[in-house]
Structure formats: structure tokens, C-alpha cells
Structure 1
Amino acid sequence: MEYVYAALLLHKLKQDINEDNVKSVIKSAGVEPDDVRIKSLVAALSEVNIEDALKAAPIAAAAAPAASASGASSGAAAAPKEEEKKDEKKEEEALEGLSSLFG
């Protein structure tokens, strides 16, 4: 998990997410870096738009309760439901790249 946090920290600081930078962050945290994990993380993240993945994550958590509350109280229209399904599919696709890091 510390490797993902290192990548997120580098992204937040607008630094390149490369093997050397991730290794430096891990070492700074007092952990002995694993080169294989670092290589696989950097390779996996090279295909992921981190900003989009971060934007999608909170929306999915906040949209579910809001959608169920609005649907129960006002009978939501068909068009918004279709848009929600499309958004959920996009979110799932974005998170598939990240899920490969965890197993």
C-alpha cells in the first residue's frame, strides 16, 4: 500500500511517477523498497490517468446514496438513470487499471 501512497504523493506534488522517485519516497518513509513492486506500479500507472481515477472515486461513493434518495422520493426520469449507468461503466473501467495493482 505504501507504494500506491508514494505514487499519489508524487502525483499531488506534480512530480514524475518513475522508479527513482517512488524509490526515494519509500526510502524516506523508512521502508526498504522492493524493486519488482516499484517496476510493476510504475508500469501499471503509466496507462492510468490518475486525475480521472481520483475524480471518479468520490463521485461513485457520493452518487449512490444521492441517486437512491432522489429515486425514492421523486421518481427519477429514465435519462438520468441511463447517464448514471454510463458513468458507472466509465468508473469501473478506470478502476480496473488500478485494481491490477492489488492482485
Structure 2
Amino acid sequence: MEYVYAALILNESGEEINEENLTDVLDAAGVDVEESRVKALVAALEDVDIEEAVEQAAAVPAGGASAAPAGGDDEGADEAEEEEAAEEEEEDDEDEDAGGEGLGELFG
């Protein structure tokens, strides 16, 4: 993660994201730099518009769920959310039930 943060710092400061600059930022932060990771990140970011990527990431709701399509059926979305919440609640109940079984067996 430090490597990505270093790239974001370089982008924010207007510096070029290259191996030398990335290594300098990581060194300054006290990170043990792995040259292969630096090279891989620089290559991966070569054709990426970081500003656009950050904006897109900020637009995704918490939990990574995608937003409802524009003009979508709000009622259908509400039903889907309710179903998902009910499934999560069932899973939680199952986890709680299963958790006590093993303890009873341990203590006879």
C-alpha cells in the first residue's frame, strides 16, 4: 500500500511518477524498497489518469456496491436491499447458533 501512497503523493505534488521519484519517496518514508514492485507500479500506472481514477473510486459507495442505474426502479432497489439485509441477518443467526455447539462439546 505504501507504494500506491507514494505514487499518489507524487501525483498530488505534480512530480513525474517514475522509478527514481517513487524510490526517493519510499526511502524518505523509511520503507524497505523492492525494485521489482517499484517497476511494476510504474508500468501499471503508465497509461492511467490518476485524477480520474481517484474520482471514480470516491464515487463508489461504501462496501463497494455499485450505485443504482439512473432512472432505475427505486422500489426494486429497495426490495433488493431488504433481501440482502435479511440474508445477512440469517447468516448472523446461523453463526451465533453454530458458535455455541462446539463449546458444549468441549465441556461435556
* Deviation digits for residues 40-89 of structure 1 (CA, Å, limit 9, x no counterpart): 00000002111110011111227x69759x924xxxxxxxxxxxxxxxxx
- CA 1:61–1:33 in 2, change beyond 3 Å: closer, same or farther? same
Moved over 2 A (4+): 64-68
Tell me the residue number matched to 2:39.
39
Instruction: For 1:48 and 1:25, locate their aligned partners in 2 and report how far apart those are by CA, in whole Å.
Output: 20
State the AA in 1 paired with 2:53. Answer: A
TM-score normalized with structure 1 length: 0.60
User: RMSD between aligned alpha carbons?
Assistant: 2.3
CA distance in 1, matches of 2:38, 2:55: 24
Query: In structure 2, do the counterparts of structure 1 residues 22 and 8 end up closer, same or farther at CA, with 3 Å as the change threshold?
Result: same
Structure 1 pair 71–65 and aligned structure 2 pair: CA distance change class (3 A) = farther
Greater Rg by CA = 2
Unaligned runs of 5+ in 2: 76-108
Number of positions where the alignment pairs a residue of Structure 1 with one of Structure 2: 71
**Unmatched tracts of structure 1, length 5 or more:** 73-103
CA distance in 2, matches of 1:60, 1:39: 28
Aligned identity (percent) is 47
Larger proportion of helix: 1
Letter in 1 for 2:6: A
- Highest relative contact order (Cα 8 Å, sep 6+), 1 or 2? 1
Match of 2:57 in 1: 57
